[in-house]
Structures are given as C-alpha cells and as structure tokens.
Structure 1
Amino acid sequence: MIILYHPRATRPRSRRLPLAVLALAAALEGKEQYEIVDGNLEDDPTARILELIARHKIELLGVSAMPGPQMVAAMETSREIRRLHPHVPICWGGYFPSIYPDAALNARYVDFVVRGQGEDTLLELLDALRGNRSLDSVKGLSYKDMFGLRHDNGERPMKGPDEFPWSPFHRLPVEKYLGPSFFGKRTAVHHASIGCPFNCSFCGVHAAYGNKEKMESPERTVAILTHLVECYGADSVQFYDMNFFLREDHARELCDRMAHLNLRWWCEARVDIMSRYSDETFAAIKRAGCAMIFFGAESGSDWVLEEMQKGITTQQTLEIARRTRQFGIIPEFSFVIGNPNDPDRDTRETLRFIRKIKRINPDSEIIIQHYTPTPQPHDAGGEMYGKIEVPFPDSPAGWAAKEWMNFTLRIDTNAPWLKRRTKKLIDNFEIVVGSRWPTVQDIRAPRWSRIFLQVLSAWRYALHFYNFPFELHLANQFISLRKPKRESL
C-alpha cells in the first residue's frame, strides 16, 4: 500500500480539497492500493498513518509539503514514522522540497524528493523500489543512496492537466471540504493549469513548476465543475492557478461554457494580460460569476517592477482598478514592498500608489507584504536581484525555527536592507488602510465591527498620519477581523 499524506496547513473551517494529493491519487487509481491521510481532516494524522502501517505492508509514504505550517507538520510526522518504522521509505514532494530540495534531503527521515510535477515520478519511483528500474532513471527525483550520497536526476518535462485522469473525489468525504466563504455556502477549489511563463524574480513557482503554463481545456474544466455541483452541491469555487486568464480566447470560451452553472468564483490573473481584454470579455467573465480577482501589483514604482522582471506597469494596474469597478468585480491587489536597492523610495512611492488605487476603485482589497526572496532550485546561496545573499536554512528543522517561519509567512522577515522605521511605516500603513476598508471576505464579522474600524481609522487615512496606531491595533485584536494575506499563505 502507498500512503499519500497531506499535512495540516490551515484551520478546520478553512480547509479545502487537498488538490496536490488528489492529483497523485488520480495517477494511482485503478493501479495501486493507496490511502489518503489529510491532516486538515484527521484529528491525529500521525496515529492514522501508524494504524495503516500496522495493518498493511507500506511501500512508500508520500508527503506533500508547502513552506510554513504544513512543512512543520510534515517534519513532525515524518520524524515519528522514521523513529517507529525505519523500514518505511519516505518521499517528500510539493512546493517546499521542489524549491529547497537540499534542505529536505538533509533530514534523516526523508529518503526521496520529488521536484515539480509528481504524478509520473511517483509511478516510476514505485517501479524502482520494486526493482523494475534503476533510481537514476527516474526524472524529477532526488534521493540518498545506501551510503548517504545525494543524487539529483534530470528535470521532468511538465504535462498539462488534460494528460492526466480526473481527481478521484470519491476517495474523500467531499462534503466536509465544501465550507462557507465570501463566495458561497459550499465553496470548492480547482486547479486548471500548471507552470508559469513569467520570470518574476521574487517568486518560486516558475522554478518549481516550469516556465510554460499548460492549461486544462475549457471542456474538462466545466465537466469537473459540473460534477462538483451536481454530486456535491458546490455553489462557488476558488481557482488556484497562478494565471487563470492567460489567453483571452481561452478565457472567453471557458466563461461562456460555465455561465450556466451559476457559480460565484475567485481566481488569480495578470495585470498586463487582463488590461488588454475587451469589454466583451470582461462582461463574459462577470456573467460567468466571477466575483473577485487577485492581481500581483507588487509595487507602485515602475523602476521596481522592471527590476523584479514583473513585466507590468503601474498604469496597467490603475487600468485594471478602473475596469474591474466598471464591471462590478472586486480586485485584490498584492504588494511586496521593500526593494533592497532602495527600500525607502519603493515604500514611499508604493504607499502613494495604493492611495491612488483606492481613489479609482474603493472596493479594491489591498494585501501588503514585505519583500522576501526565494532561491532557485539547487541554488544554495539564495541570490535575489540586487546581488544580496540570504543564508537560507539547510534543513526542515531550520525552516521550522521562529525566525524562518516568520520569514516564510512574511510576518516579520527581518530583512537586513529594510530599516526599522521603514518597516514600521509599512506595517502601520497596512493596519490603517485595512481598518479604513475592512475586507469583505470575513463572512463572520458583524456589520458594526466594520463601521467601527472605518470610523476609528478615517482621520488617520485622511491626514496621512500612520504613526503609533495603538487604537487600531487594540481594536483589531478585539474584533479579530480576518486578514486576506494570512488566509492566502
């Protein structure tokens, strides 16, 4: 038997379908005996895995790991399984080991690392473990041999979603994953592409999943959504693609096909691409049920966007703010502030730019984060633009330390180039703008709490006075309004 383990990554009320392990399960379905253990569903996932080991011969424990809390949960469970059952091979896959394969393999409890897309690599690894092929023939695999020496096999070309079977939804109690959200009472999730053709210097997606985006056909996307609606009662969906609207013709066809499902939905898109879409396509997107779109605006400075290799302009972001207001779609604009080459200038210009966005479209949701670098695979130095070296941890335990957990979650990056007063300005502005326009996505917050925060912060925002917002910190602790940034990590 193969165990596919999805460590806990969020609170129970925020759990969604574990798409990563479902994709692997689709590759195994009908071929292998397997079980999915989801830490977001199980009270004690480690105990559940130990129970399966006691009842079955386990050929492989496959662990999916994102940086942050999920990586910590993966580390704790893997360490315990290795202690109690040292004969069980453990393989890590997902975003964390794809970006930090050295750190993952440095753990004594990790035998194999799958880099990037894992479906075919998993099947070939099983063949190798059964003696039907050599480990060095499995592309996309890193591993330690019997002497502890490390091997990195060649990269595996990415395949599009249409080349793999559907997720075996029947293997999970889907109804327990369709929770309420701003978009509906029973919100599903879907991933309709892989890879990213853009080269943003601060992002690891391109490095982990390829420089070409392969998209699912509109027919298949709508067929899967129809299945979720008809069999499980889904009334809304969040698309987890990095660039949901890569081509206008694809976007138009998909929206025309899915309009009859009456779903409300959220997705991510690029400012430059959507700013060129016609009014007719925007109208089709709105008719199809799109309620909110996340955009990586990143900075209010064109010189910073150029250094980031973002490929967009501030004028395009303003155009998106205007057009989303025209068509009644809420934009989420994310900013990573603190360019290491001139963090003070970047901060000043970006805060002014955010105020400009709010004048154009007050409904814009603003997400503010400190700039955090991401190394390329196999890059131990962690070089980012500006030729600044960051000494990244060399093990999962290192990444689990408070300093690096805060770095990963962008709570407090301790960036050496960011002066304390500049960091304080960013943080203070964030709480002021977040209180002046509380997010609409917290469906539990009573109306009075939003009004209270708006009144309390209005004078600060009007006067550009962000220093010492003690009353806002106190009010936010009392109200505990959901923060979109925290939910999206």
Structure 2
Amino acid sequence: MIDALEKNEPYEFIRNLIYKATDGKIIKTAKEDLLDQDSLPALPYDKLNTFYPITKFLGKTYLGEKTMAYHSSIGCPFTCSFCAVVPIYEARWKAKSARNVYKDVKYIKDKWGADAIEFHDNNFFVSEKRAVEFARLIKPENMTWWGMARIDTMSKFKDSSLAAIRESGCKIIFFGAESGNNTILEQMDKGGTQTGDQIIEFAERLKKFDIIPEYSFVLGTPAPTQEQVQSQIDFEIDFIKKVKAVNRKTEIVIYTYSPVPTEGSELFKQVMKSGFRFPETLEDWISPAWEAFDLRKNPLTPWLTPEMIDKIRNFETVLNGVYPTVTDIRLNMIKRMAIKLVATMRYKASMYHYPYEIKLLQKVWRYRQPEIQGF
C-alpha cells in the first residue's frame, strides 16, 4: 500500500485493505490467504535484543522462572459463534511445523535461558500429530509449557498422545468449555461435537495424566425471558460444581457473555433481537465501559439484570476462595488454607450473596485472576 501511494499507482486491488473512498463509502478489499508459516524467515530475536534485552520478556510465572511467549500458528479451523477469531480468519488455520517451533524455542532456551513456554495460539492442539511430534522434540529440554485447545478435539487424542504431551512438560491446557447446557453449545456452534457429559468425562480423564484442565465458561447468554436467563445461570453454576467434583484440580475461568458480530449465527440473531447494539464510533469503542465489556466482566447486554451479574461475580468469588488458582505464585499455602476455610461453608451451602470476607482477603493478598492478568 505504501509503495502504491508513493508511486501514485492503483491500490484498489491490494488485499487486506479497508479504506474510505472519495464518495465516503467504506471499501474492504479481498482477504489475503494465510501464509505458509514455514516459508517465513526466522524471527529476528537478535535484532530485538540489540534494542531491548530478550531476558526482559522472560517472566517468572507458574510455569517457570523465565517464561517465553510463542505463537506457533495463525487462525482456527472452527466457527464458534461467540468467538472474535471467527470473523477475522473465517475458519482458516496455518501452523509452523513442530520441528521449526522446536528450533525457535530451543534457540531462546540456549541463548537466553528460557525454561517455560506459553503458546498463545488460538488453538495449539488442532493436529494431534504435530502436538505429539513437538512433545517428543521438546522433552529432552526439560521445559514446562501451556497451550489452548478444544475439548472435542483433544478428547479424541490417544492415551499415548496425552501421556507424551504430559511427559514433555505440558502442565496445564486451556479449554473453552463454554457451557454444560447442550442447547447453548449448539447455539454457540459447538453442539454435535462437544457435550456437557464430554466436558465432565474429559476433566476426569486428564487426572490420570496429571494434566490440569483449565476450563472457561461463558455465563449469561441470551434467552427469550429473564426467567430463562436466570435458569441458565443457575444450571451453569451447578455444572461447574460437578466438574470440580470429578477433578478438583480443574481450573475454572468464568466470563460473562459478550456478543461479537458473527452475522448469520443463531446466537447473533437472538442478540440483535434483544435490542443490543455495537458502538458506532471509535470513541465509544475505547470508552471504559466497553473496555470492561471486552474483558467479559461487566456486560452491557439488555437481557442481564444487575442481580444476575452480581450472582455470577459472587459465585466466582466463592469458587476462587475454595479453589484458588494454582497459577497465582504469590499465594502461599497458609493464605490458600485461610481463604479456603472462609469460603468452603458458603460453597457447600450454595450461599453466594455478599461474600465480602472473601473479597477482602483476595484484595489484601492481591489475588491474581489469570483471565485478566495472565500467569
């Protein structure tokens, strides 16, 4: 685009552009195909290091003393109707080969001492073959690692594959469980391949491999009546407790549903029918209210009442009291036992109102929520 503008040449057929024409109309050109990741040159780590030391990017986390971040693939091959990745990549996915990922990781380990990896791919475990090959390559390096996956994909992995992944240093895997309600899963375009029973069974299955499943749930999806919305929230809370019952090590991340413009999906139709509207100006998009909305913590959706939001947040507080995340490395054993003692009675009695004593401890001890602050 820059070349075309400097040379006064046509730019209308350059891919991946969005611009305003002279008549004021917004024009979007065709999307570029995803590039073959193995054809790209190696990332210029040494050049970056001359301006800012690479070691400054290697943070202390639950995974290790020097944790590196790495993105080994682009896109995702699935079409979940609530996911912002879908309209960007349109169910396309391209990944680096396991060997090239390993070469990059080993280079950073050998040169700057990285001892752990966070894979920020939208879906690292799309290919069982690639995941297992990487696991076997990285195993001798004695590194710990984390990545994201789908339950319905990994539940098909062979036991030998899951064992190889764990033996290679993978300690925890993030999964979008989303809901235990099969009807809602269908609305999210996860139905047919992922079910509530499968979510529970897979959490239990991972126990024997000592892999911690990190399950995210989306509460507060739209429904025709507020009574149905409340009923769905109550169901999800009970379902999360069932997951914890079969595998207490399961990490639970709770989001409140926030729509994304995936036009054509059943869920999006319900959203627009409710009267919800997206911002129309840049100033609105970057306002504090929409920042909270984007974090899926304080939604501006018309079907949720303040009482419903309070129940979701209060349950989350109690849950995090009984089961503090293992990823908060600042929370020592004494603090964990104290906060659990305070929260357990509420959890067992399903008493979630006004958990101020738990909130106070979490505030004093600066409890860390990985969905907001990372590891």
Q: Same fold (TM over 0.5)?
A: yes
What are the Cα deviations for residues 334-376 of structure 1, in whole angstroms up to 9, with x where unaligned? 0010120132222111111111111111111111111000114
Confirm or deny that 1:428 pairs with 2:314.
Answer: yes
For 1:100, the equivalent position in structure 2 comes to none
Confirm or deny that 1:392 pairs with 2:271.
Answer: no
Query: Which residues of 2 match residues 34-433 of structure 1 at below 5 A?
Result: 125-131=1-7, 133-145=9-21, 150-172=26-48, 173-311=53-191, 312-341=194-223, 342-376=228-262, 384-388=268-272, 389-433=275-319
Number of residue pairs the alignment of both structures matches: 361
| Pair 1:224–1:392, CA change in 2 (3 A) | same
8 A contact 2:276–2:302 mirrored in 1: no
Give the TM-score taking structure 1 as reference length: 0.71
| Pair 1:133–1:261, CA change in 2 (3 A) | farther
Measure how far apart 1:149 and its partner are: 5.0
Detail structure 1 runs of 4+ shifted over 6 Å in the superposition: none
Measure how far apart 1:446 and its partner are: 2.7
Measure how far apart 1:395 and its partner are: 2.6
Q: Distance in 1 between matches of 2:140 and 2:282?
A: 46
Measure how far apart 1:209 and its partner are: 2.2
Give the TM-score taking structure 2 as reference length: 0.91
Q: Distance in 2 between matches of 1:390 and 1:419?
A: 14
SS in 2 for 1:369: strand
8 A contact 1:191–1:240 mirrored in 2: yes
For 2:367, the equivalent position in structure 1 comes to 481
Measure how far apart 1:147 and its partner are: 7.0
For 1:57, the equivalent position in structure 2 comes to none
Confirm or deny that 1:461 pairs with 2:347.
Answer: yes
What are the Cα deviations for residues 183-229 of structure 1, in whole angstroms up to 9, with x where unaligned? 00000011111111111111110211231211211111111111111
Q: Which amino acid is the alignment partner of residue 251 of structure 1? A: A
SS in 2 for 1:183: coil
Long gaps (5+) in structure 2: none
Identical counterparts, % of pairs: 35
Q: Distance in 2 between matches of 1:425 and 1:127?
A: 55
Q: Which amino acid is the alignment partner of residue 304 of structure 1? A: I
Q: Which amino acid is the alignment partner of residue 314 of structure 1? A: G
Confirm or deny that 1:443 pairs with 2:323.
Answer: no
SS in 2 for 1:219: helix
Q: Which amino acid is the alignment partner of residue 343 of structure 1? A: V
Q: Distance in 1 between matches of 2:8 and 2:116?
A: 44
SS in 1 for 2:327: coil
What are the Cα deviations for residues 163-186 of structure 1, in whole angstroms up to 9, with x where unaligned? 321211123221110010000000
Long gaps (5+) in structure 1: 1-124
RMSD: 1.9
Q: Distance in 1 between matches of 2:269 and 2:322?
A: 34
SS in 2 for 1:136: coil
